C-alpha cells in the first residue's frame, strides 16, 4: 500500500525520485578579483580542479598596441567551497594525505611479495611475521600521523586541584582508526577487548559531548567550580562526579577527588576520624580493583591479571571485601550524611547495581563500559558484546547518534558493509581507502567480500572502488594529485587507464610542472603518455614563441591559477 504521507512528499518535491532540498535558498556571490580595465568582452567559464571554476576574462584587443600597457585578459579561479573557515583543516588533511603514502606503499609491496612467496612455498616460513603484524606496523605509522599520544608532561609541582590533565586535542578520525585497529587488526588485544574499550573511551569521551553531556563534560564543568568550593563534600555535584568517573573506570581521577575530601585536612582529622577512615578505605579498594588485562599504562590504577582463573579469584576476593565494608558497623558513627550516602553509592557501583550505573552514566557507550567493568567483566566474543550494546542503547536512547557510536555498533554487529558505509559517511574517502587494510587483516570473510568483483561497477572490487574514490579526491587538489598514482597503480583493473587519463589532463604552465609529470610517466613506464605530453607541450611552446616574436599585445597574462598558458585573442591585424 502506498503511503499517503510519502505521496504528498513526492508531489511537494516536484515528482523527483530523491527529494532534493537545497541547503540555502540565498544565492552565494563569489567576487572575482581580476584587476582588468573594462570593457571585458568575453568571459568563458569551465571547471578547474576540485571545487573550482575557471573563469577566463578577455578584453577587446587594443588597436594601438604600444600605447595600451594593459594586459589583454586574465584567467582566475573561483573556489566554490564554503570559504576560508576550513583552511587549517585542509592543511591538516594534506599532511595526513602526504604522510599516509609511505606506509600504504610499503604495505602494498609487502602484500605483493607475500603473495608471490606463498606461491613458491607451500608451508609458511617460521621466520616470517604473520600478516596481521605487518598490518599493525602500518596502523602504528598511520596512528602517529593522526596525532601523537597525549603528551605526558609532568609538571614539577602537581596542581592538587587539577583533576583532568590537559593533553593534545583528540580527533574523531584517530578515535575511529583505533576502533578499527583494536577490533580487526590487533590480535593481541582480542582476549581483553572490553578493557581496551575502557581505554578508548578514556581517551575519546570528550569527543562525544556535542549534543549530550558526558562524564567528561561533567568533570570539566566541576573542575571549573572546584577552586571556589569551601566544603567540597557538602556539594552533591562532588559525589555525582565521583560516581560517574568510577562508573566508567577513571579510577585515578576518583581517588584524587576522594582525597580532596575535607576530612583529610589536618585541623579536621581529629573529630572526623571514622569518616576519614571510610573515605580512605573506599579509595584504597578502588585503587586495588582487579582488571582483566595484561598491563596498565603509567599512572592508571588497578591490579592486572592476564589469566582468567587468577582474575576470577581476585575479583571474588575484592567483591567480598566491598560487601564486608558495606555491612560494616563503622557507617553508624559517620555523621556526615553526604559522605555516607556518597560512599554507599560508590560501593553500589562497585557491586554492579544496574540502576545506579545507569544514573551515573550519560551516553549508552558509558553505560556499556560500566557494564564491562562492574557487571560482566568476563564478556568475550562479539555476539555477547552486541547483545549488551543493544540493551544499553535501549536504556539510553539517543536522537542523533554520534558517528563514532554508529561505527561501534557496525563493528560489534559484525557487518562489514555497515562498517564501510559508516567509515565513508563519517570519516571520508581517506579513512575507507586506508582502513580496508585493517578490515582484511585477520578476517577471511571481509577479505572475500572486499575483493569480490562486482559486474555492476565495471568488474572492480569494493577495495578498488574505494581506492579509486580516494585517488579522485587527491587529484582534486594540485598539491596532492602527485600522490594519486600511488593509489591508482594499486588498482588492478581501472587504475592504469585512469592514471593515463590523469596525466593527460595535468596542466603544465611551466617547465618544472611538466618535468614532474614526465617523472611520473617514467616511474610507471608510461613512455607513450610522456611522448604525447611532450608533443602537446612542444606545440603550445611554439605557439607561445610565435606570440612572443610577433609581440602581439593580445597575449593573455596568466594568473597563477592552474591553466594552460594558451589563452589568447585573435589579433585582427
Partner 1 sequence: MAITNLPKTPKIHRIPQPKFIDAIRWLSSPSPFQKSFITSLYDSDFHTPSLEIHSLDPSKTLTTALFSWTPPSRISSLKSTPSLFAASTFLGSLHIFKTPEEMSVLGNDMSDLGSKTSDMEPVVSVVGREFHVGSVGGVDLMEGGSECVSVGEDGRVNLVDERGDFRRVFDGNGLVSYSAVKWASPSEFVTGGCGFGLQWWDLRKSGAAVAQFKGNWDHGTTSGIIHSIDIHPSRKHTCLAGGSSGTVFAWDLRRQQEPMILSSIGSSDTMTHPLSESEVWEVQYDCYTKSLNSNISSSRILPAMISSEDGILAVIGQGEEPTELLAEPCAINSFDIDCQNPSDVICSLEWESIVILSRP
Which residues of the shown chain bind partner 1 in the complex (CB under 8 A)? 77, 79, 84, 87-88, 90-91, 94-95, 98, 101-102, 105, 477-479, 482, 509-511, 515-516, 518-519, 522, 527, 530-531, 534, 544-545, 548-549, 551, 557-561
End-to-end CA distance of the chain: 73
Indicate the residue among 112 and 511 with the shorter CB distance to partner 1: 511
398: helix, coil or strand?
A: coil
**Minimum distance from residue 299 beta carbon to partner 1 (Å):** 28
Nearer to partner 1, 62 or 426 (CB): 62
The CB-of-560 to partner 1 minimum distance in angstroms stands at 5
- What is the smallest separation between the CB atom of 228 and partner 1, expressed in angstroms? 34
To the nearest whole angstrom, how small is the minimum distance from the Cβ of residue 473 to partner 1? 15
Locate cell 596525532: which residue? Answer: 147
Please identify, using beta-carbon distances, which residue of 232 and 534 lies nearer to partner 1. 534
CB of 91 to partner 1, least distance (A): 4
Question: Do residues 43 and 56 lie in contact, with contact meaning Cβ atoms separated by under 8 Å?
Answer: yes
Compare residues 122 and 512 and give the one whose CB is closer to partner 1.
512
Q: How far is the CB of 506 from partner 1 (least distance, A)?
A: 15
Three cell numbers, residue 84: 576560508
Least distance (Å) between residue 114 CB and partner 1? 22
Alpha carbon of 71 to those of 36, 68, 74, 147, 555: distances in Å?
8, 8, 8, 47, 7
Neighbours of 377 (CB within 10 A): 18
- CB-nearer residue toward partner 1: 17 or 84: 84
| Cβ–Cβ under 8 Å, residues 556 and 58 | yes
Q: Which is nearer to partner 1, 410 or 553 (by Cβ)?
A: 553
Cis peptide upstream of residue 39 (ω within 30 degrees of 0) = yes
Minimum separation from the CB atom of position 549 to partner 1 (A): 6
Smallest gap from Cβ 523 to partner 1, in A, equals 8
Q: How far is CA 148 from CA 142, 172, 174, 195, 197, in A?
A: 10, 14, 10, 21, 19
Q: Cα 82 vs. chain centroid, distance in angstroms?
A: 21
Q: Which is nearer to partner 1, 206 or 534 (CB)?
A: 534
Nearest to partner 1 of 228, 551 (CB atom): 551
Residues with Cβ within 8 Å of residue 399, at least 6 apart in sequence = 211
In degrees to the nearest 10, what's the CA dihedral of 65, 542, 482, 105?
-170
What Å distances lie between residue 510 and 49, 315, 556, CA to CA? 17, 71, 15
C-alpha span between 126 and 326 (Å, rounded): 55
Q: Identify which of residues 150 and 516 has a Cβ nearer to partner 1 in the complex.
A: 516
Q: What is the largest CA-CA distance in the chain?
A: 110
Amino acid at each position: 500500500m502506498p503511503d499517503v504521507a510519502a505521496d504528498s512528499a513526492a508531489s511537494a518535491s516536484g515528482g523527483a525520485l530523491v527529494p532534493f532540498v537545497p541547503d540555502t535558498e540565498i544565492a552565494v556571490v563569489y567576487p572575482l578579483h581580476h584587476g582588468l580595465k573594462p570593457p571585458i568582452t568575453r568571459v568563458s567559464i569551465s571547471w578547474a580542479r576540485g571545487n573550482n571554476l575557471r573563469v577566463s576574462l578577455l578584453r577587446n584587443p587594443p588597436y594601438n598596441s604600444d600605447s595600451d600597457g594593459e594586459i589583454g585578459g586574465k584567467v582566475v579561479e573561483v573556489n566554490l567551497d564554503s570559504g576560508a573557515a576550513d583552511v587549517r583543516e585542509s592543511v591538516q588533511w594534506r599532511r595526513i594525505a602526504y604522510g599516509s603514502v609511505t606506509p600504504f606503499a610499503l604495505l602494498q609491496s609487502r602484500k605483493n611479495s607475500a603473495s608471490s612467496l606463498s606461491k613458491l612455498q607451500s608451508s609458511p616460513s617460521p621466520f616470517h611475521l604473520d600478516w596481521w603484524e605487518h598490518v599493525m606496523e602500518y596502523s602504528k605509522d598511520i596512528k602517529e600521523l593522526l596525532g601523537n599520544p597525549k603528551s605526558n608532561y609532568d609538571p614539577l609541582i602537581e596542581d592538587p586541584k587539577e583533576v583532568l590533565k590537559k593533553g593534545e586535542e583528540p580527533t574523531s578520525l584517530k578515535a575511529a582508526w583505533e576502533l578499527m585497529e583494536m577490533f580487526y587488526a590487533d590480535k593481541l588485544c582480542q582476549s581483553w577487548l572490553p578493557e581496551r574499550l575502557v581505554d578508548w573511551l578514556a581517551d575519546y569521551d570528550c569527543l562525544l559531548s556535542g549534543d549530550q553531556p558526558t562524564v567528561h563534560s561533567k568533570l570539566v564543568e566541576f573542575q571549573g567550580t572546584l577552586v571556589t568550593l569551601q566544603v567540597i563534600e557538602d556539594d552533591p555535584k562532588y559525589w555525582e562526579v565521583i560516581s560517574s568517573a568510577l562508573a566508567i573506570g577513571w579510577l585515578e581521577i576518583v581517588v584524587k577527588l576522594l582525597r580532596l575530601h575535607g576530612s583529610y585536612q589536618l585541623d579536621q582529622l581529629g573529630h572526623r576520624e571514622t569518616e576519614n577512615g571510610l573515605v580512605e578505605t573506599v579509595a584504597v579498594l578502588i585503587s586495588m580493583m582487579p582488571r582483566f588485562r595484561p598491563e596498565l599504562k603509567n599512572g592508571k590504577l588497578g591490579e592486572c591479571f592476564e589469566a582468567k582463573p587468577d582474575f576470577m579469584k581476585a575479583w571474588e576476593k575484592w567483591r567480598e571485601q566491598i560487601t564486608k565494608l558495606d555491612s560494616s558497623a563503622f557507617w553508624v558513627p559517620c555523621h556526615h550524611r553526604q559522605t555516607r550516602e556518597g560512599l554507599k553509592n560508590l560501593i553500589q557501583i562497585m557491586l554492579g547495581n544496574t540502576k545506579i550505573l545507569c544514573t551515573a552514566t550519560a551516553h549508552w557507550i558509558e553505560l556499556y563500559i560500566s557494564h564491562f567493568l562492574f557487571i560482566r567483566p568476563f564478556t568475550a566474543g562479539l555476539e555477547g558484546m552486541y547483545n549488551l550494546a543493544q540493551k544499553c542503547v535501549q536504556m539510553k536512547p539517543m536522537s542523533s547518534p554520534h558517528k563514532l557510536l554508529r561505527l561501534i555498533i557496525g563493528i560489534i554487529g559484525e557487518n562489514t558493509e555497515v562498517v564501510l558505509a559508516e567509515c565513508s559517511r563519517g570519516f571520508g574517502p581517506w579513512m575507507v581507502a586506508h582502513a580496508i587494510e585493517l578490515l582484511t587483516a585477520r578476517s577471511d570473510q571481509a577479505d572475500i567480500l572486499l575483493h569480490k568483483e562486482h559486474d555492476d561497477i565495471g568488474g572492480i572490487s569494493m577495495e578498488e572502488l574505494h581506492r579509486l574514490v580516494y585517488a579522485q579526491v587527491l587529484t582534486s587538489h594540485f598539491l596532492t594529485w602527485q600522490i594519486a598514482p600511488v593509489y591508482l597503480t594499486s588498482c588492478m583493473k581501472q587504475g592504469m587507464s585512469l592514471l593515463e587519463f590523469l596525466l593527460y589532463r595535468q596542466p603544465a604552465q611551466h617547465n618544472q610542472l611538466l618535468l614532474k609529470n614526465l617523472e611520473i610517466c617514467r616511474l610507471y613506464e608510461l613512455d607513450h603518455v610522456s611522448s604525447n605530453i611532450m608533443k602537446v607541450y612542444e606545440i603550445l611552446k611554439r605557439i607561445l614563441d610565435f606570440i612572443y616574436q610577433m609581440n602581439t599585445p593580445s597575449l593573455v597574462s596568466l594568473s597563477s591559477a592552474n591553466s594552460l598558458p594558451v589563452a589568447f585573442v585573435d589579433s585582427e591585424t
